[in-house]
Chains A and B, each alone.
Chain A
Amino acid sequence: MAKVVAVTGNEAVANALRQANPDVCAAYPITPQTDIMQRFSGFVADGLVNTELILVESEHSAMSACVGASAGGGRVITATSSQGLALMWEILFIAAGDRLPIVMPLVNRALSAPLNIHGDHSDGMGARDCGWIQLWSENAQEAYDNTLQAFRIAEHMDVRLPVMICLDGFIISHSIERLEYLDDAEATDFVGKYTPLYPLLDVDHPVSYGPLILPDLYMEYKRAQHEVMTKAGKVVLDVAADFAKVTGRNYGLFESYRLDDAEIALVILNSAAGTAKDTVDEFRGKGIRAGLLKPRLFRPFPYREVAEALKSAKAVCVLDRADSFGGFGPMYMEIASAMMLNGAKPLLINKIYGLGGRDFLPEHAELVLSELAEIAKSGAVRTFKEYIGVRE
């Protein structure tokens, strides 16, 4: 039986990690993630998990320790935010390139400089190309559910890749929400036992991780890495189907909200999607066919499925809580690629919002939807990329 509680996003994620009972956890504090590792270290101290906890001296060391422990054959976790992820960057590629199924919650926070501890998606988007699977979460419940599913996805024999679970710093990590936990036995049963693959400790079958590969083979290795990523989407759906059987909560590659006949649509990630859904409802109430797409699986990106979901839209706005200075926002570039694939060409605009924790309010969604309605009517776009909620 599911237990209904009131918890923060961090507490929910920490409990998912506890239920997965990893073999090794490497921890290093960073705001706003600290609370996850803090709670997890409490579980270790209280004997609720059989985890070896290492407190390391930097995030670079945290991810390095994860790589070592995972190659040694353990189920391995850590968690980080912002500068921590940036410092891990070198080792993120090692974890993915070595096909190590490490699971890591990322509590999204802005990047320096200037220093800012509040939520935006610059950290996760900056790690887009590192070969990790990324699941994004609107609220505490999704962060908890995604964390449990992440173990199944990462450790699936068709995948064996690291997975990052993204949730918004402070907005979700530190807010208390209603949440349904799985029973410990149910969760543990769902996650399943960890099966090591080519562990370093199997001395009868010695293996090498990450040695030098020169131009004669490197590209084949990288091509294979893309191949396995293309298979992850199916596994994500299979795991979601199993999860729905246990919980009744359905997950896809993304969430379609009132999109079926939508003429105008928003594409928006994480907590701000929850805010924008209410505004979509208001527009529907006024007889305007508005809809919303909330990506869940960002890497690998489900281009064809997203394009199909947005096919009825005449005008689409992609809202990015991260920027690519001198370019469009990272999510905009994905959606533009997706639309190109199926030949659909809605008028596609980009809004950058909420950097460094700046609030995203219903009136922002309202302004954007009004602009989209105008664009759909007139066919004319004023500005393709714009910042909202900013003093200029």
Chain B
Amino acid sequence: MDNLSKKYLRPRKIPSTACSGCGLGMNHKAVVQAIYDLGLEVEDIVWGTSIGCAGRQTFGTWKGDGFAGTHGRVYAIARGLRLVLPPEKKIILTVGDGDAFGIGLLHLIHSARSNADFTVIVNDNLGYMSTGGQYGWTTPRGSKTDSSPYGMYEQNLMSDGMDVLGVLRNAGATFLARHVSMDGQRAVESIRKGIQNRGFSLIHMVYPCPTNFGSRELGTRDTVKIYNWIKKKAAPLGEEKENTLWATGIYYDASNSRREFSESIHRNIEKIRRTGTI
């Protein structure tokens, strides 16, 4: 266990119960590194988790306050929490792609619309892997999964000119980035900026699942194969190639440009009470 884990994470939860070769730990580490780089302490952060691989592996790992939401509801819980937390306290949510972009998308959009101050790390293993490997809403078109044995043919949120980050940008998000888990320091920098934005931030982080995604799509659980498969399909923004699925880097940064959700409510209510008008 490294020093960062010792400082911020509960020793009995590390290593996690993730499958061998799972890439989620890289994302988790990037989040903790960003927290450290910002000089934040355990008590500065409330950490929320969802359901599925991302929820199960990150739940209860944070030494400080944390909560586990039901599937897709963690954003609604976080909005409620934001209203009562002091503004300097940070909320970080580690969730999965099915949670954020499927069952919880409505709450996510309203969190973006209202510019609620929390940072969502969407750990994307390209489908519903904890239930055995069904396709989801970011599963690359044509991928073989348990529920798409001939290749995923549904419209997803990541192709044909559609991008879930575009949906969130139009909904009002003020910081959006995309990475793959091998991005290392570049991902840490994006997470750091996301945490510094007083408003809705989301970092979409694709990571390899050798067990259920790799085994179906690539026909092997070889960790190196799925890592390389993801790396080949990722390129920094502006350096995309024809086969690039994930253009990595900061997708949109309007940090601190729009009033934050709880601040807006508190200010307006205070003004109405004081003056009887907005």
**What residues of B have a CB within 8 angstroms of the CB of A188 in the complex?**
none
Does the CB pair B149–A45 fall under 8 Å? Answer: yes
| A57, B154: Cα distance in complex, Å | 13
Q: How does the 8 Å CB contact mask read for A24-48 relative to B, with 1 for contact and 0 for none? A: 0001011100110010011001000
**Is A210 at the interface (CB under 8 A from chain B)?**
no
Does the CB pair A55–B147 fall under 8 Å? Answer: yes
Q: How does the 8 Å CB contact mask read for B205-233 relative to A, with 1 for contact and 0 for none? A: 00000000000000000000000000000
**Is B114 at the interface (CB under 8 A from chain A)?**
no
With A45-B149, A55-B147, A57-B102 known as contacts, the answer to whether A83 contacts B132 (CB < 8 A) is: no
**Is B131 at the interface (CB under 8 A from chain A)?**
yes
With A38-B146, A45-B149, A45-B150 known as contacts, the answer to whether A55 contacts B134 (CB < 8 A) is: yes
**Is A215 at the interface (CB under 8 A from chain B)?**
no
**Is A114 at the interface (CB under 8 A from chain B)?**
yes
Count contacts between A and B, CB distance < 8 Å: 45
| A114, B55: Cα distance in complex, Å | 13
**Is B110 at the interface (CB under 8 A from chain A)?**
no
Q: How does the 8 Å CB contact mask read for B239-262 relative to A, with 1 for contact and 0 for none? A: 000000000000000000000000
| A39, B259: Cα distance in complex, Å | 49
**Is B186 at the interface (CB under 8 A from chain A)?**
no
Output the least CB separation between A60 and chain B (Å).
8
- The residue that B103 contacts in the complex, of A34, A58, A112, with Cβ under 8 A, is A58
| A34, B12: Cα distance in complex, Å | 30
Contacts of B107-133 to chain A: CB distance below 8 A: 128, 130-132
Interface-side segment among B36-44, B67-75, B265-273: B67-75
| A29, B51: Cα distance in complex, Å | 12
| A37, B168: Cα distance in complex, Å | 31
With A83-B71, A113-B68 known as contacts, the answer to whether A57 contacts B128 (CB < 8 A) is: no
**What residues of B have a CB within 8 angstroms of the CB of A185 in the complex?**
none
| A219, B70: Cα distance in complex, Å | 34
Q: How does the 8 Å CB contact mask read for A67-102 relative to B, with 1 for contact and 0 for none? A: 000000000000000010001000000000000000
- The residue that B147 contacts in the complex, of A38, A58, A112, A115, with Cβ under 8 A, is A38
For the residues of B in contact with A, the DSSP-based class is: loop
Does the CB pair B147–A83 fall under 8 Å? Answer: no
Contacts of A95-140 to chain B: CB distance below 8 A: 112-115
Does the CB pair B70–A58 fall under 8 Å? Answer: no
* Chain B residue nearest to A32 in the complex (CB): B131
Output the least CB separation between A118 and chain B (Å).
14
- The residue that A29 contacts in the complex, of B72, B131, B150, with Cβ under 8 A, is B131
Does the CB pair B68–A114 fall under 8 Å? Answer: yes
Does the CB pair A41–B68 fall under 8 Å? Answer: no
**What residues of A have a CB within 8 angstroms of the CB of B130 in the complex?**
31
With A38-B146, A41-B147, A57-B137 known as contacts, the answer to whether A115 contacts B68 (CB < 8 A) is: yes
| A340, B149: Cα distance in complex, Å | 56
**What residues of B have a CB within 8 angstroms of the CB of A38 in the complex?**
132, 134, 146-147
**Is B135 at the interface (CB under 8 A from chain A)?**
yes
Q: How does the 8 Å CB contact mask read for A223-260 relative to B, with 1 for contact and 0 for none? A: 00000000000000000000000000000000000000
| A115, B131: Cα distance in complex, Å | 15
**What residues of B have a CB within 8 angstroms of the CB of A41 in the complex?**
146-147
Of the A-B pairs whose beta carbons lie under 8 Å apart in the complex, a sample of 27, sorted by A's number, is A29-B128, A29-B131, A29-B132, A29-B134, A30-B131, A31-B130, A34-B131, A35-B132, A38-B132, A38-B146, A41-B146, A45-B149, A55-B134, A55-B147, A55-B154, A57-B102, A57-B103, A57-B105, A58-B71, A58-B72, A83-B51, A83-B70, A83-B71, A112-B70, A113-B68, A115-B51, A115-B68
